[in-house]
Amino acid sequence: MRANSMSNIKNCFLVFCASLLVARSCRGSKHISGHMEKPSFKHPTGRPCDGRLIPDFIAEYANLPLIPPYLQPGNNQFMEGENFESKGDRVLAENLQGMVISSEIQEHVQSGNHHFVNGVNFASSGAGALVETHQGWVINLSTQLSYFKNMKRQLGLQLGEAEAQKLLSTAVYMFSIGGNDYFEALTPMHSLLQFYSREEYVGLVIGNITTEIYKIGGRKFGLSTLIALGCLPSLRAVKQEQTGVSGCMDEATMFAKLHNTALSKALEELERQLEGFRYSNFDAYIAGGERINNPSKYGFKEVREACCGNGPYRSSTTCGQKGYQLCENASEYFFFDSAHPTESANNQFAKLMWSGNLDIVKPYNLKTLFEE
């Protein structure tokens, strides 16, 4: 006998990603909370942001509750959505201890909503599409997928196999991954580029990013291109340190361009090959570039320097630690820390993902996928 029915479930939203969509980081930013006003969260969440992230907005638009992390203690039931994210996809060991989750998320998950309500977040911090990226420190995409398979088995026990399969086949699966693989490739200690051309390396990253979920039953996918990576505060600082010249790091941005072209081609090919495969590809490169090049048009005053951190461009990863600096008004900044957008930027991106036109998200926006 099935323990539950999915008759009241409107949508299912599952998120696999790195930092752009992460629900929390490996450590709670407890030092920041006294300085930053967060309209949605009254307590520090450990998120790499001053407030809401893209999945939070998308869940709201889809009339879903907040999607909490998978590794949250006691969170073993999920129905309406999952967040299989890794913050930058880095820390595995740290992720399993000392987690600081907002009280709003805890209350929602622990207040009797215990028949697979919101879902979870398979989070770490620093992950990439490749196992080698920050290996030993992250929950990589492969591990996130293994968690998803565990979830599928639990859903089968909870709902019955037929209804579990129906739920997963109508779900929307969001991916944003790849940036950390290219950060890794640009580090002096990285060796893979000795054996692969840049194009071949990008091909490895793109790989089978969604086909494994398709085999399990997923049919609707939301993806995003990479922004101009070289314009992140962290890589602006690297360029300035290495060359003495300010500006974006062209080599990093080149990886983003190669990735975005390869991703678009791969998605078009998958749509031709896989029956029922539908996708939404948000052009974060264009959207981010428009805001970096024309900040005042989009309500930003600062697009080069981060709101929180230290050093040149506030690019060091010290946000929330001793000696960090914090801006007065995060809503005026495009970047919250060395590599992650502010809530204001996330809000603008999420709106475009949800209901943007073909010039920024194609062949479908997320609203279309959720309403199918």
Q: How many domains does the chain have?
A: 1
The answer to whether residue 1 sits within a structural domain is no
The answer to whether residue 227 sits within a structural domain is yes
Residue where the block lists tokens 């196999």: 161
Q: Supply the pTM of this predicted model.
A: 0.83
Q: Which pLDDT value is given to residue 347?
A: 97
The answer to whether residue 8 sits within a structural domain is no
Cα angle vertex 52, ends 237, 351, to 5°? 95
Burial annotation 66-92 (CB, 10 A radius, 16+ → b, else e): bbbbbbbeebebbbbbbbbbbbbbbbb
d(CA 285, CA 256): 8
**Domain ranges, residue 169:** 13-371
Question: Quick one: which H or E segment has residue 84?
Answer: strand 81-85
The H-assigned helical ranges of 111-197 are: 141-159, 161-170, 179-185
Q: Which pLDDT value is given to residue 46?
A: 56
Label residue 291 by pLDDT band (50, 70, 90). very high
Q: What is the CATH number of the domain that holds 38?
A: 3.40.50
For residue 355 the two structure tokens come to 């209901």
pLDDT digits (tens, 9 = 90+) for 103-152: 443 343 333 333 343 455 664 656 777 877 777 666 777 888 888 888 88
Question: HSE on the CB side for 273, CA within 13 Å?
Answer: 10
pLDDT digits (tens, 9 = 90+) for 27-76: 333 334 333 434 444 455 556 788 888 988 998 999 988 877 776 655 54
The answer to whether residue 289 sits within a structural domain is yes
The answer to whether residue 2 sits within a structural domain is no
The answer to whether residue 320 sits within a structural domain is yes
